[in-house]
Amino acid sequence: MKRFIGFIRKEFYHIFRDKRSLFILFGMPIAQILLFGFAITNEINNVDIAILDHSKDATTQEIINKISASKYFSIDAFITREADIESVFKKGKIKAVLNFEKDFSKKLIKENVATIQIITDATDPNTANTISNYTNSILQKYMQEQNKDIKPIYTIIPQTRMVYNTELKSVFMFVPGVMTIILMLVSAMMTSISITREKELGTMEILLVSPLKPIQVIIGKVVPYILLSVINAIVIVVLSIFIFNMPVEGSLFILGLESVLFIINALSLGILISTISKTQQTAMMISLMGLMLPVILLSGFIFPISSMPLPLQLISHVIPAKWFIIIVKAIMLKGVGITFIWKETLILLGMTLFFIGLSVKKYKIRLE
Amino acid sequence: MGITINNISKAYNEVSALQDISFNVKPGELFGLIGPDGAGKTTLFRVLTTLLFADKGTATVAGYDVVNDYKSIRNSVGYMPGRFSLYQDLTVEENLHFFATIFGTTIAENYDLIKEIYVQIEPFKKRRAGDLSGGMKQKLALSCALIHKPKVLFLDEPTTGVDPVSRKEFWEMLKRLQKKGITILVSTPYMDEAALCDRIALIQDGKILEIDTPQAIVKHYPKTIYNVSASNMYALIKSLNEYVYSHSVYPFGEFVHYTDQRDDFNPTDLKSYLEAKGLKNITINPTETTIEDTFMELAR
C-alpha cells in the first residue's frame, strides 16, 4: 500500500509540474464549454423562407408582413402549388415554408379558427426547431394584438411539420457533449501519454525491474486522473448551470456516479492505447483520431444519430460516448432516475470491464 | 548468488544480437563487460534483468531463473540502464524517495550503503534531476539503484558521457560497494576501465571474445607492441600499413601501436623503411600491452 501511495504521489508531481498538461487539464474544459456555449447558439438571422398562400386575403397579408418585418426571416419566394414545396426545399436555400390554408380570413371570422402549416427543413434540426418556435411566437403576438378588441377570440393554429428528420430526436444540447469530450480527452489521452512517457524516457525499464506489480502501476497511473476528471466534470456542470442555465432535473448523485463510470471507461481506453503505442506522439495521435473523432462525429453530440446512414448508426453503438451522452441527457434534461437508464449504464459498465480486462492482459511485463 | 549464463542467444528480426553467450559471475565479483557500441551489452543486461526473453539458453541471477522466477529477481537486483532513466521533473530527493518507497524501504534504512555517493549530490537535493550535470545524474541513478540494498547490481555503461574525474570517483565507489558483498556486472566501452574489474569479458558482435582477469588477458597477448611516432602521423600510418611485414597498425594517442608479423623483428629495419618513405623524427620503442590492444587483436 505504501508503494502504491508513493507511486500516486509521484504521478501528482508529474501532473502539477508540467504546465502544458495542467493547462489541458483545467484550461480546456472551461474554454470548450464557453466556446460551445457562446459560439454555437440557437440564434437565427434572416433565414430564407417561402410562402404558400392559398387565400391571399387581408389577414394572411398582414401576417406575412409581420414575419417579413422581423429580423429573423426574409421571404425569398412565393409559391402557388403544394407540389412546389419539395422543389424549393431541394434547392437548399429555403429553410421553411409557411402554408396558409384556403379562406384563412373567412374561417377566422366564421369559425374563429384558422390554420397555418409551418414546414421546416430539418436536416439541421436545431435551426428547424428554432424557426418553428420563432414563427409561433410571431403568430402568438399577432393574435394577442387582434384579440384585444374582438370577441370571440380568434385562434390561429400553427401546424408544425418537419421534413427529412421528422422525429427531431436530437435536441441540441451541447453540455452533455462537451462534458463527454472533455472527460474522454483528459482521461484517455492524458493517461496514455503519461504511460508512454515512462516508456519513452526509459523509466518504464526501471519500474519493470522493481517489485511493483503491473496492476499497481496501472491503478497508480489511473487514480490521479480519476480525481482530476471528477473535478473537471464538476467544473463543467457548475459552469453550465450558472452561465448557461442548464437544467439539472435529475439526481446529481447519479450523474456523478455515471460520470465516474464513464471516466473509468475512458481511462481503460487510455491504458489500452498506451499498450500499443511506443511514443507519446503516437499515443496522442491515436487518442485524437481513434477517440476524439468518433466522440465528436458519431456519438450524437453534433450530428443526430437518427439522421445517419445505417452503417454509421451501427458503428455508433460501440462508442461509449454515445451511451454516456444519452445518460447525461436523460438525467440533466428529463430528470429520470436509474430505472430508466439502467440499460445504457449496463452497456457502459460492460464496455468498461472489457477494456480493463483487455488492457491488463495487453500490459507488458517485459520490454517486448 | 552470482550470475550464471548458459548459451544465451537473442536476435531481433533476423539480426543477431547475442550468439551463444556463456559465462559466470561469482558472488561478490566486480565483472566487466567490455565492448564497443552495438556489441550486445545492453541486450544481455535486459535478458538478465528479466526485461527480454532470450531466444535460446538459460540464465540465473542470484540463484533465480530469469524466466520463471522473474518476480524474485525484480525484488533483489538493482538496475541502472544505459540511458539516464530517472524522473527529470522530480528533484534529487524525490527520486530517491520514490525508488525507496516502491522497493518497500526507506532512505534512512539503507543510508549507510549510499552515503558516500549521496553526500556528493546532497547539496543539490532540491534540484530537479533533469538539471543535474552528467556525473551527478549517474551518481543519483546509482543511489536509486542501490537504495533497496540489492544482491546483484547491473550497471549498463554507467560512465558514458561522464567527465574523467567523476568516472574515477564512480569506479572507486563500485570498489567500495563490492566490499559490501554486492555482485556487480558493469558494462563499458572504455578499455581503461576494464583494468579496474576483477574479471572482464570482451564482447563484440554478440560474441564473447575472451573472459579472464584483465592482467591475464594482457599477458596472453602474443606479440610485442611498439610505439611508433613520426612528424607526419597520416603518412606514418599509411606507410606502416603498406609495410610488407606489418601485422597491426592502430593509432593510439600521439603514437601508433605497431606489431610485426616476424618473431625476430628488428626496429632498425622498420626505421630505415620509414626513412625511405620520407618520414622524419622517427621513434620506435616497445611498450606495454593494454586491454585495448588485446581487444583490437581479438576483434580482427
What is the model's pLDDT at position A153?
62
What is the model's pLDDT at position A162?
56
Residues B211 and B268 in one domain: no
Which candidate from A18, A209, A366 shows the least CB-CB separation from B79? A209
Which residue in chain A is spatially nearest to B102 when comparing CA positions?
A3
CB contact under 8 A, B46 and A367: yes
CB contact under 8 A, B103 and A7: no
Inform me whether the C-beta atom of residue B97 falls under 8 Å from chain A C-beta atoms.
Answer: yes
> Higher-confidence residue: A128 or B104?
B104
Q: Choose one of B219, B248, B274: the last residue of a domain.
A: B219
Q: pLDDT confidence of B46, banded at 50, 70, 90? A: very high
Residue B94: list chain A partners with CB under 8 A: 10, 13
Residues B155 and B116 in one domain: yes
CB contact under 8 A, B88 and A201: yes
What is the model's pLDDT at position A165?
40
Q: pLDDT (tens digit, 9 = 90+) per residue, B208-240?
A: 999 999 999 888 888 889 999 998 899 999 999
- Report which of A331, A328, A347 is spatially closest to residue A180, judged by C-alpha positions: A328
Total of domains in chain B: 2
Residues B274 and B133 in one domain: no
Q: Choose one of B219, B251, B275: the last residue of a domain.
A: B219
Residue numbers in chain A where pLDDT is lower than 50: 164-172
Which residue in chain A is spatially nearest to B95 when comparing CA positions?
A10
Residues B107 and B192 in one domain: yes
Which candidate from A10, A212, A367 shows the least CB-CB separation from B51? A367
For residue A291, the distance in angstroms to the closest alpha carbon of chain B comes to 29
Those residues whose C-beta lies under 8 Å from the C-beta of residue A358, and which sit 6 or more positions away, are A268, A272
Residues B106 and B203 in one domain: yes
B64-65 vs B56-61, strand pairing mode: antiparallel
Q: Report the CATH fold assignment for A47-163.
A: abc type-2 transporter like fold (3.40.1710)
Residues B34 and B149 in one domain: yes
Average per-residue pLDDT in chain B?
91
Q: pLDDT (tens digit, 9 = 90+) per residue, A74-91?
A: 888 888 888 888 888 877
Cβ atoms A264, A162 nearer than 8 A:
no
Residues B147 and B31 in one domain: yes
CB contact under 8 A, B85 and A211: no
**Domain range for B290:** 225-299
Cβ atoms A220, A4 nearer than 8 A:
yes
CB contact under 8 A, B104 and A3: yes
Taking the C-alpha atoms of residue A15 and residue A190, their distance in angstroms, rounded to an integer, is: 10
CB contact under 8 A, B74 and A3: no
Q: pLDDT (tens digit, 9 = 90+) per residue, A124-171?
A: 766 777 788 788 888 888 887 777 666 656 666 666 665 544 433 333
Q: pLDDT (tens digit, 9 = 90+) per residue, B59-88?
A: 999 999 999 999 999 989 999 998 888 999
Residues B80 and B210 in one domain: yes
Longest dimension (CA), chain A: 91
Residues B197 and B230 in one domain: no
Residue ranges of the alpha helices (H) in chain B? Answer: 41-48, 70-76, 92-102, 111-121, 134-146, 164-179, 191-194, 214-219, 233-242, 267-276, 291-299
Residues B172 and B36 in one domain: yes
Interface of B with A in 115-174 (CB under 8 A): 144
What is the model's pLDDT at position B264?
87
Longest dimension (CA), chain B: 72
Residues B205 and B229 in one domain: no
CATH number of the domain encompassing residue B253: 3.30.70
Cα angle for residues B76, B78, B81 (degrees, 5° grid): 145
Residues B51 and B90 in one domain: yes
